[in-house]
């Protein structure tokens, strides 16, 4: 099992997350009870993923395809130092995009 990281939310609640361990040479987070306090709030850790989702939505909504619905799925891993990381689901990465169109009413 990877480390358990505790993130605080902006309203003070604690969210415990099983987190990835970062493979940085020469550094390692250590806690006696196996729990590490995150360097950021939960919301702060997810900010990069929120920005990535917003950018992806803008690309698909504002492009020439003009779908009626856009669904974007990111695999996310949490880290005590880095925060949220878009997870690698395959060799290329993990991002699922679903575009939907409703049939136009016939006149």
| pLDDT tens, position by position, 34-56 | 788 888 899 998 998 899 889 98
Which of 7, 5, 12 is CA-nearest to residue 34?
5
Is residue 77 predicted with pLDDT exceeding 50? yes
How many Cα atoms sit within 13 Å of 64 on the Cβ side? 0
Q: What is the pTM of this model?
A: 0.67
The DSSP secondary-structure symbol of 46 reads H
Helices of type H across 2-94? 42-62
Cα–Cα dist 51/72, whole Å: 13
How many Cα atoms sit within 13 Å of 69 on the Cβ side? 6
Is residue 63 predicted with pLDDT exceeding 60? yes
């Amino acid at each position: 099992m990877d480390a358990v990281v505790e993130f605080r939310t902006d309203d003070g609640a604690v969210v415990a997350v099983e987190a990835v361990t970062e493979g940085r040479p020469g550094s390692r987070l250590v806690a006696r009870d196996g729990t590490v306090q995150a360097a950021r709030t939960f919301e702060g850790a997810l900010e990069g993923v929120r920005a990535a989702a917003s950018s992806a939505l803008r690309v698909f909504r504002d492009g020439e395809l003009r779908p009626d619905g856009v669904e974007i799925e990111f695999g996310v891993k949490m880290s005590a130092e880095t925060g949220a990381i878009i997870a690698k689901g395959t060799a290329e990465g993990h991002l699922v995009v679903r575009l939907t169109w409703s049939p136009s009413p016939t006149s």
